[in-house]
Structure 1
Amino acid sequence: MAAPPPPGVYVPAVLFFDENEEFDITAIKAHVLRLAEGGVTGILVQGSNGEAQHLSHDERKQAISLTRETLDQAGFQNVLVIVGTGGQSTRETKKLNEDAHKAGASHALVLTPGVWPKLMTLDNIVRFHREVADASPIPTMIYNFPGVTAGIDLDSDTVLALATHPNIVGTKLSCGNIGKIQRVASTLPSSSFATFSGRSDAYVHGLNAGSAGVIAALVNIAPKLHVKVYRLWKEGKAEEVMALQALLGHADWAASKIGGIGGIKAIVSTHFGYGQPFVRGPLKSGNPEALDVNPHYKVILQLIDAEKNCEL
């Protein structure tokens, strides 16, 4: 039977571009290495922060291979590469899973198609995920993110029904519903079906509810801090954990108000010495010069100070 990814901290990595919207290979590699050195368990390529929908199939394969090769060459063979593969058709998603496998991915994270939300009945959703899993050469996970699927929000009954498939081994719940995390995680252990919170503001609350960890955008900025929280939580140091969770919760909100993907790139490029804040249109590139005037930036500075002073 297929195995889920191990518990821990995962990051939906941003993908760096140059001013012509072409891959910035040097920055991509630098980011992958900083995340790995920060102790993450795995890197999610082409999650919602990886601009997958803006890439050709060849570019998707290149990004996966580049990530896997960069990790391997630096001695991080144990860091997993998971790939977001949800296409808008069953046929395309199957192809993306095959490509991900060939490029070195261990698991596929599959987003439910959302172009025709009224036609995505429960039967269609379940059939889609099962047919994709049937054909996938690597284990699949269910990605539930209503914000990018026209409001489609899988409930715990649906997730648990899909979890009976032998090749569906986990879920990322970016809906922020702690009750849903607890219902799924208390029914199925992470050794057979890994339930991950998809948001840093729900990170520790998800762990307390039984989650396997987190797959969250804020890890792009503060990987070491997220890893430290996980280790402290396992050690039962509740007071320290909740103090750090408060910072992560405020910073998660702040990052969302600074410009989304472009904002994360602007923060990373400003404070960690690589990359530029370019995105592919129609998204808006980040503006490092505007950071200081954003009222939410003070919290991000606190996060970065904590990250740079974090010892694992």
Structure 2
Amino acid sequence: MPSSRPPPPGYYVPAVLFFDANEEFDVPAIKAHVLRLAQGGVTGILVQGSNGEAQHLSHDERKEAIALTRKTLDDNGFNNVLVIAGTGAQSTRETKKLCTDARDAGATYVLVLTPSTWPPQMTPENIIRFHREVADSSPIPTMIYNFPTVTAGLDLDSDIITALAEHPNIVGTKLSCGNIGKLQRITSRIPTSEFAVFAGRSDAFLHGLNAGSAGTIAALVNLLPKLHGQMYRLFEEGNHTAAISLQAKLGHGDWAASKVGGIGGIKAVVSKNFDYGEPHVRGPLKAVNIDNLAANKYYQTLVELIELEKTA
């Protein structure tokens, strides 16, 4: 198998997916969101990351969401914006199928979550075997998604990820664990040109870049794509003082976004401030009432950042 290239450095968004009151796709809102993110300069869009409610979708819906994202980008001249598809499933067999589906629907890379139904069975050896078997089968390059919060506490360490990076079709990782030490151990062993390590949270964006990361794939980008682009440019220009100041703001924003109601909260904030979409989610997740946002003490932090976003 020839060696695959990792995704380019930059800032990516695990996009939320909008539904109507019947929990069906709200296609106009999905397209509006994809377009605003692309206009905000994102390097790529992750469809069906944890914010995209992948586990609540059928296989056909997953393919439809990927294809809709790719078509929206292409129809509006954003052919250069990558599409990454989350392909997490609880069996190796299903994960392999989702990788093929993602390729067929227009994704360039897939992000693979480790199965977690049986945590005691997921030994380091079994985790490595799973990811290697998926990568052997996948028609497009794979990335490892490490997010202990949604995998029953399974937290892949730097030894596991470094071992997996040796596979020619495994080209990167998203570290939503927020562990900068782990990130730096990986980047110090493998160049970004061979294996891209992305911080999975905005509060680790600059710290990850300083530790050698390729950038970030973070939920807050749903609200603030332009500010994340500004952060990335400040780092590249060596403007450390301004970068540190903006990173502090993004850190507070990351915390605030986690306190307004999860995925439903992010949708509610988008709906209230950008005039598209509604905060519907698929059960058992809970929607957030837009009218109640003002009573949430963290919401004002996001409002202040969105005001900066709109003038960026």
Which bracket does the TM-score occupy, shorter chain normalised? over 0.9
Q: Which residue of 1 aligns with 2:125?
A: 123
Q: Which residue of 1 aligns with 2:35?
A: 33
Q: Which residue of 2 aligns with 1:2?
A: 4
Shift, 1:197, TM fit: 0.2
Deviations 1:200-234 (A, max 9, x none): 01110000000000000000000000011001110
Shift, 1:71, TM fit: 0.2
Q: Which residue of 2 aligns with 1:138?
A: 140
Q: Which residue of 1 aligns with 2:70?
A: 68
Shift, 1:42, TM fit: 0.1
Q: How do 1:279-298 and structure 2 match up within 5 A?
A: 279-298=281-300
Q: Which residue of 1 aligns with 2:20?
A: 18
Tell me the SS of whatever aligns to 2:197. strand
The separation in 1 between residues aligned to 2:124 and 2:239, in whole angstroms, is: 41
The separation in 1 between residues aligned to 2:13 and 2:125, in whole angstroms, is: 31
Tell me the SS of whatever aligns to 2:188. helix
The separation in 1 between residues aligned to 2:23 and 2:17, in whole angstroms, is: 11
The separation in 1 between residues aligned to 2:300 and 2:241, in whole angstroms, is: 23
Among 57, 67, 84, the alignment partner of 1:55 is 57
Q: Which residue of 1 aligns with 2:189?
A: 187
Among 100, 109, 119, the alignment partner of 2:111 is 109
The separation in 2 between residues aligned to 1:105 and 1:189, in whole angstroms, is: 24
The separation in 1 between residues aligned to 2:253 and 2:244, in whole angstroms, is: 14
One-letter amino acid of the structure 2 residue matched with residue 200 of structure 1: S
Stretches of structure 2 that go unaligned for 5 or more consecutive residues are none
The separation in 2 between residues aligned to 1:304 and 1:33, in whole angstroms, is: 17
Q: Which residue of 1 aligns with 2:100?
A: 98
One-letter amino acid of the structure 1 residue matched with residue 203 of structure 2: D
Deviations 1:5-36 (A, max 9, x none): 00000000000000000000000000000000
Matched, 1:226 2:195: no
Q: Which residue of 1 aligns with 2:257?
A: 255
The separation in 2 between residues aligned to 1:124 and 1:188, in whole angstroms, is: 23
The separation in 2 between residues aligned to 1:86 and 1:188, in whole angstroms, is: 25
The separation in 2 between residues aligned to 1:268 and 1:44, in whole angstroms, is: 17
One-letter amino acid of the structure 1 residue matched with residue 137 of structure 2: A
Tell me the SS of whatever aligns to 2:213. coil
Deviations 1:124-183 (A, max 9, x none): 100000000000000000000000000000000100000000000000000000001111
Tell me the SS of whatever aligns to 1:141. strand
Deviations 1:58-98 (A, max 9, x none): 00000000000000000000000000001100000000000
Q: Which residue of 2 aligns with 1:214?
A: 216
Number of aligned residue pairs: give it. Answer: 310
What RMSD, in angstroms, separates the aligned Cα atoms of the two structures? Answer: 0.5
The separation in 1 between residues aligned to 2:144 and 2:172, in whole angstroms, is: 6
Q: Which residue of 1 aligns with 2:237?
A: 235
The separation in 2 between residues aligned to 1:271 and 1:78, in whole angstroms, is: 27
Matched, 1:89 2:113: no
One-letter amino acid of the structure 1 residue matched with residue 267 of structure 2: K
One-letter amino acid of the structure 1 residue matched with residue 97 of structure 2: K
Shift, 1:123, TM fit: 1.0
The separation in 1 between residues aligned to 2:179 and 2:6, in whole angstroms, is: 21
The separation in 1 between residues aligned to 2:249 and 2:228, in whole angstroms, is: 11
The separation in 1 between residues aligned to 2:219 and 2:145, in whole angstroms, is: 14
The separation in 2 between residues aligned to 1:49 and 1:189, in whole angstroms, is: 29
One-letter amino acid of the structure 2 residue matched with residue 88 of structure 1: Q
The separation in 1 between residues aligned to 2:189 and 2:126, in whole angstroms, is: 24
The separation in 1 between residues aligned to 2:162 and 2:174, in whole angstroms, is: 13
Tell me the SS of whatever aligns to 1:143. strand
One-letter amino acid of the structure 2 residue matched with residue 295 of structure 1: K
Identity of aligned residues (%): 71
Shift, 1:302, TM fit: 1.2
Deviating runs (4+, > 6 A) in structure 1?
Answer: none
